Amino acid sequence: MNLHDFDAIRPYQPEELPAVFDRLLANDGFVDIVRSYYPDVPLEALKQKLYACPDNLSVQITFFAPLLRQLLARCSKGCSLDATTITPEARREGSFTFISNHRDIVLDSAFLAVMLIENGFRTTVEIAIGDNLLIYPWIEDLVRVNKSFIVQRSVSMREMLASSKRMSDYMHFALAEKRENIWIAQREGRAKDSNDLTQESVLKMMAMGGEGNAFERIQAMNLVPLAISYEFDPCDYLKAQEFQQKRDDASFKKSPADDLRNMQTGIFGYKGRITYRTATPVNEWLDELRSLPKAEFFKALALRIDRGIHSCYELYPANYIAFDLLHGSQAESDHYTADDLAAFTAYLDSRIEMVNLPRKDVAFLRERMLTMYANPLINHRKALA
């Protein structure tokens, strides 16, 4: 395998960047976004700074990291990474596949990239991103500058197997040959109810590439389960709305405009506190599964990854309040105050008010939103038990 085997899906190489910058800067949509973030900086100065970046990591550190810090200042109470399960030496030397629950379409990997650099890792992450989100050609250019590789979901069933094999081969290549880190979600799409469960199909895809048997191929991925915990999900009301739309119309599917709205809401909406926390790297316990038959191996691996993610959640007052409101109890009242309860109840009412449906089912929407906030607590308790 060489790099050009993956030209259709891989991030851009440093020598390709000037031509990509030319395309981006010729696009009015991209330029408008750049101007909105840097209103006081002449476009010519930004161009010079961009063309001076020798590689993708430089673009991330020079342009994306400052924007993300601005975003965190505006839309959150701060973001932290607890990576104590990975030694300082491993952070400097190793290449990891971070497999995480999926809270935000764009920001899960973006915030992680910034925090890895701030926490002593030698590089950021290459990012698995579905082609359904690449609504415009310039968005594909932008994400591939930002070290993303493309998950080809809009292919025929006949092509899917070859596409999955190529992506798996690329991930093994990126880890072994490029010595990059990777971020991938534990499942296709976000868990709308925050019941974060690893799809075995994601793990089986990883074992399609590389060398050796399934165990050895997973071992080569150097998996690290990662829990992402938002105090508030900016898309909570949109997810609840989608639950009702699917309940009322079995054939309902989101449009590209819906995807774009979810992306924009997720990026710019208020998130409260954000915590990333790594679980024990998979290779530290993987030998326990070595003797399992192949079918049982992937099932056991998914369950252990889930346990790692669930046990590493950061829990906030909203999670405990949602559990109590959902069950009509005060079982978790030691974890929140009367002011917390009043604030979250008002928050919930305001989010339901934002749902835009002609026949809004308030009781159903409320139950769906409470379930979203309660599930991390429920899964955390199961994992610790």
Domain definitions of the chain by residue range: 3-230+269-311, 318-384
| 120/65 Cα distance (integer angstroms) | 15
CB-CB contact of 60 with 113 (8 Å)? yes
The CATH code of domain 3-230+269-311 reads 3.40.1130
| 300/282 Cα distance (integer angstroms) | 12
The pLDDT score that the predictor gives to residue 220 is 97
Q: Tell me the mean pLDDT in the region 87-96.
A: 95
| 21/142 Cα distance (integer angstroms) | 9
Q: Tell me the mean pLDDT in the region 334-344.
A: 98
Residue range 50-75, pLDDT digits in tens = 999 999 999 999 989 998 999 999 99
E strands in 146-296: 148-151, 181-185, 223-230, 274-278
Give the lowest-confidence range in 112-121, 153-162, 180-189: 153-162
Task: Provide the phi-psi class of 376: left if phi over 0, else alpha when psi is between -120 and 50, else beta.
Answer: alpha
> How many C-beta atoms surround the C-beta of residue 223 within 10 A?
24
> How many C-beta atoms surround the C-beta of residue 44 within 10 A?
8
Mean of all residue pLDDT scores within the chain: 94
